[in-house]
Structure 1
Amino acid sequence: MQYTWIYDRPVDVDGIRRFQRNLADGLLGRRIERSPLPFGRHRWVASPGPDDLEISVRTCPRADVGTWADDRMRRPIDPEHGPAWHLGVQPFTDGGAAVSLVASHSVVDGQGMTIAITDAVNGIDRQLGYPLPGSRPRRRALVDDARAALRSVPEIGRAVVAGVRVARSEQQDLASSFKTAAEVPPAGDDRPVLAPTVAVFIDVDQWDERARRLGGTSNSLFAGLAARLGERLGRAGADGMLTLSWPVSERTDGDTRANALIAAKMRADPETVTTDLNPVRSAMKSALAESGELSARLLAPLPLTPFTPKALVRRLEALVVSVDNPVGCSNIGDLDPAMNRPDGTDADFVSLRLLEPQITTRVLNRIGGYLSLVSGRVHGRIFISVGAWTVGADNTKQALRETVQAALADFSLSGIVE
């Protein structure tokens, strides 16, 4: 995940350094330590993060901020060996600057990352008390993890039963995906690519007014825009409907889970969303009502993860994300104003995006491409980051930018598209 802040003036470097130090006191101040047992559970250990702030020695034009942000996204992070995040600053030739924070989704989800940022700006130390890496002697680690594995045997038994149930209930979708994967040879190559993304910034008053006129809310307008983009990018089903999938945060005060999420899924008609959001609003309510039960059912086999071969996990993941060509919609909602102040003062623009820097065109084509939107509201604007890959299409930022502008025009919306 990458948060990018853009300032139309120089940033306070001392403030950014303070921000970086404070990030180590929150949810980003940790990494994963592997169990010495092949089936043992990993644990959190303390991790201070990068040693120093990365400030570009060369200035660049403001128009090149996207290229710089892509370069930051390509820089390695490692949730196991660390650092699991990195922070950078890029001065502009016109006197402005950008700040980038990239973090692993294995350490925090979108809400968790936002909380970590807000805490760091406000100087809040979570005092999570994680042990230092390697603090357990190997013999003790083996004994502790073996005991924990034995205690989890009943849980594993229940997970096996749950796994069988899930396999049976999802067998039609999985069978369809296996068949599709077998019939269509994966085109593309094995070179890592960064799928194109663009960021949209819209005045919140304009956005909310449009939502009201269409009988919806900010969230349902976001879903409607996602459906319209999905149609324009060829992700509609044979019946013309779009499948929208989004995470619903379950994070509570003091919650230290990496990913405190459940899943929700709904279908939307892209032909009606530009004139009436009531059907989308209704479908979202139904999906949210069902999401708890659905997630509980799908997450029940989770204890089997340590025993599942990695190759099978990757295969199943590819199959799941290709069923019905879902459009990912992640709406963080209203953000704490402090989250927009990494140097202690308000940035002019901020956006969040999710990307897989090491994915290849072969994998992207095999899963049928993807479309993902991330949204949040702060500093009088709503930002919407759009990332997409369409099999066989012109997968460039310019092409995606034009598609996004056309979808916005469908809703009579205007904004800045970076």
Structure 2
Amino acid sequence: MTTEAGEHRLEFLDQTAFELMRATGRGQLMQCVWVYEHPVDFEGLKRFHRNFAESHGGRHIERSVLPFGRPRWVKPGHAPSEIQISDTTRPRNELMDWADELASLPIDPEHGPTWYLVVQPLTDGATAISMVGSHVIGDGFGAGLAIFEAVTGNVRDAGYDRPGERTRRQALASDIRQVARDLPETGRAFVKGVKLVYGKRRELAQSRKTRAAARGGPGEQLVAVPSIAVFVDVDEWDKQAESIGGNSYSLLVGFTARMAERLGRRRQSDGAVTLVIAINLRESLEDDRALAMAFANATVDPEKVTTDLSQARTVVRQARQSAKDHPDPTLELLPLMPWLPKPAVKGVAELLFAYSEDLPVSCSNLGDLPPQLAQVDGTSAEYVFVRALDQNVTLQEMQRSHGQLVVVSARINGKVVISVEAYEIGAENSKPRLRDLARQTLAEFGLNGVVD
């Protein structure tokens, strides 16, 4: 894809994520939580807040003046939201409840705010700090880079315009030139899209019937998706991984596969677990994509991973390499996104992100994070975790995807941190149950950990 220098257009995948959010009302969020057991330096926290507002994490989306044009990245048109500091304390055992509640904050990648920084004193004397923001603005690695820059004070100037900085004539001329550049790619995507729609016409017709039958019914009610955080000492984690023929990543895969089994996400055909693994494609600081990633599909046998990780290690390595060498062909349809009316966007989502009987499980590994990411006030927090969150999830969506399991992990402050977000159709969907399942899974691997 070719874009005009200085226009900072959204890549097609980024625009697709934005349009899907608008069409479905479901928001994909990211959250980082720091727990300080020593006094917080609020001057340092304010400095971080100012710096983050100037980073890529503080940017907004400006729509094209053309209904079928490409949006672009811009600086925010107003000051960021203030740091929100609670004047009441909460018990430590309500940490995850408090973190969940922040998903209800109004977050909008176009009009703002795109992110919030919130402080919650705890009754045991600790302080929890949370940053929550739109996944449409950046992926896990992009968010981590923005936090790193804000902590260190080395914030890049991407050269974004302010919203409305172009005159209407300038905007029209630039956006029309971009449409012309995109036409060959759009034409190829149209041909492939027609073939794909024809090939999946029966599935799409059934999906439309299902949506129509559920409209206005109980399926449209919102559901809460429980989420927990697990902390394991890095040395213990690595020792266990090595003892059963794996490494840190394959042990995460094994943990995820066992959690999937406990949550009823094994394939009926062969009992295996299908993992969808996010792969980072960001290779330079000049890459300002929000979602610089590919997705690899890996098949794991959950019966073997507690005693032998060698197969899981090989499968994941091969799947990651295959995803890099052979990108998903359905992504070639993304150039169609600017031309689609809103009612058609959900249909494209079904083509791109088809709900599968394989019961896929999302597994993201951020790896070793720099220690600065734990220093949101300039000092190191005792506990840090990152996770994915969802806004406005309906029962119908959970039913169509046969539930959900999302696992995000990172290594920071001497801990392997694993966030688990899960929903099982027809089961008790609560944090206590999810914590019990996580403890059972840790025990299977001979691991001790703190489960919040």
Normalised by the shorter chain, which TM-score bucket? over 0.9
Alignment of 1:320-331 (within 5 A): 320=353, 322-323=355-356, 324-331=358-365
Contact 1:369 1:389 in 2 (8 A): yes
Q: CA RMSD in A?
A: 2.1
Give the match's secondary structure for 1:17. helix
Which residue, 408, 411, 416 being the options, matches 2:445? 411
- CA distance 1:393–1:8, change in 2 (3 Å): same
Aligned to 1:317: 349
Aligned to 1:70: 100
Alpha-carbon offset, residue 73 of structure 1: 1.7
Aligned to 1:106: 136
- CA distance 1:321–1:68, change in 2 (3 Å): farther
Please list the CA deviations of residues 286-327 of structure 1 after superposition, one character each: whole Å capped at 9, or x if unmatched.
111210244252322211111233333324535735211100
Identity of aligned residues (%): 43
- CA distance 1:356–1:49, change in 2 (3 Å): farther
- CA distance 1:16–1:192, change in 2 (3 Å): farther
Give the match's secondary structure for 1:248. strand
- CA distance 1:405–1:40, change in 2 (3 Å): same
Give the match's secondary structure for 1:352. strand
Alignment of 1:214-233 (within 5 A): 214-233=244-263
The letter for the 1-side match of 2:387 is R
Tell me how far apart the structure 2 counterparts of residues 310 and 19 of structure 1 sit (CA, whole Å): 38
Tell me how far apart the structure 2 counterparts of residues 321 and 336 of structure 1 sit (CA, whole Å): 36
Tell me how far apart the structure 2 counterparts of residues 280 and 125 of structure 1 sit (CA, whole Å): 39
Aligned to 1:11: 40
Contact 2:204 2:347 in 1 (8 A): no
Tell me how far apart the structure 2 counterparts of residues 218 and 105 of structure 1 sit (CA, whole Å): 26
Aligned to 2:327: 295
Query: Quick check: 1:55 aligned with 2:85?
Result: yes
Alpha-carbon offset, residue 214 of structure 1: 1.0
Aligned to 1:85: 115
Aligned to 1:34: 63
Alpha-carbon offset, residue 180 of structure 1: 7.8
Aligned to 1:355: 389
Alpha-carbon offset, residue 403 of structure 1: 1.2
Aligned to 1:389: 423
Please list the CA deviations of residues 267-296 of structure 1 after superposition, one character each: whole Å capped at 9, or x if unmatched.
001111111111111111211121024425
Contact 1:191 1:360 in 2 (8 A): yes
Contact 2:81 2:113 in 1 (8 A): no
Tell me how far apart the structure 2 counterparts of residues 380 and 354 of structure 1 sit (CA, whole Å): 22
Query: Quick check: 1:259 aligned with 2:291?
Result: yes
Tell me how far apart the structure 2 counterparts of residues 30 and 336 of structure 1 sit (CA, whole Å): 23
The letter for the 2-side match of 1:410 is E
The letter for the 2-side match of 1:353 is R
Alpha-carbon offset, residue 150 of structure 1: 1.8
Which residue, 407, 413, 421 being the options, matches 1:373? 407
Contact 2:81 2:116 in 1 (8 A): no
Contact 1:229 1:404 in 2 (8 A): yes
Tell me how far apart the structure 2 counterparts of residues 143 and 232 of structure 1 sit (CA, whole Å): 56
Give the match's secondary structure for 1:295. coil
Alpha-carbon offset, residue 179 of structure 1: 5.2
Tell me how far apart the structure 2 counterparts of residues 296 and 2 of structure 1 sit (CA, whole Å): 28
Please list the CA deviations of residues 116-135 of structure 1 after superposition, one character each: whole Å capped at 9, or x if unmatched.
00110000120111101111
TM-score by structure 2 length?
0.87
Contact 1:25 1:124 in 2 (8 A): no
TM-score by structure 1 length?
0.94
Query: Quick check: 1:46 aligned with 2:75?
Result: yes
Aligned to 1:270: 302
The letter for the 1-side match of 2:282 is R
Give the match's secondary structure for 2:426. coil
The letter for the 1-side match of 2:383 is F
Which residue, 143, 155, 168 being the options, matches 1:125? 155
The letter for the 1-side match of 2:185 is E
Tell me how far apart the structure 1 counterparts of residues 111 and 386 of structure 2 sit (CA, whole Å): 24
Tell me how far apart the structure 2 counterparts of residues 178 and 263 of structure 1 sit (CA, whole Å): 27
Give the match's secondary structure for 1:86. strand
Tell me how far apart the structure 2 counterparts of residues 220 and 165 of structure 1 sit (CA, whole Å): 38
Contact 1:331 1:374 in 2 (8 A): yes
Aligned to 1:24: 53
Alignment of 1:171-250 (within 5 A): 171=199, 188-238=218-268, 239-250=270-281
Give the match's secondary structure for 1:301. helix
- CA distance 1:240–1:195, change in 2 (3 Å): same
The letter for the 1-side match of 2:56 is L
Please list the CA deviations of residues 126-162 of structure 1 after superposition, one character each: whole Å capped at 9, or x if unmatched.
0111101111222332222122112221121122244
Tell me how far apart the structure 1 counterparts of residues 179 and 387 of structure 2 sit (CA, whole Å): 37
- CA distance 1:180–1:414, change in 2 (3 Å): farther
Contact 1:194 1:359 in 2 (8 A): yes
Contact 1:247 1:261 in 2 (8 A): yes
- Structure 1 stretch 233-242 or stretch 181-190: which is displaced more? 181-190
Could you list the runs of 5+ residues in structure 1 that have no partner in the other structure?
A: none
Contact 1:49 1:86 in 2 (8 A): no
Tell me how far apart the structure 2 counterparts of residues 100 and 294 of structure 1 sit (CA, whole Å): 37
Please list the CA deviations of residues 90-119 of structure 1 after superposition, one character each: whole Å capped at 9, or x if unmatched.
111222100100111111100000010011
Tell me how far apart the structure 1 counterparts of residues 377 and 386 of structure 2 sit (CA, whole Å): 17
Query: Quick check: 1:334 aligned with 2:365?
Result: no
- CA distance 1:356–1:318, change in 2 (3 Å): farther
- Structure 1 stretch 367-376 or stretch 137-146: which is displaced more? 137-146
Aligned to 2:4: none
Please list the CA deviations of residues 352-376 of structure 1 after superposition, one character each: whole Å capped at 9, or x if unmatched.
1112111122222222111000000
Alpha-carbon offset, residue 65 of structure 1: 1.2
Give the match's secondary structure for 1:39. coil
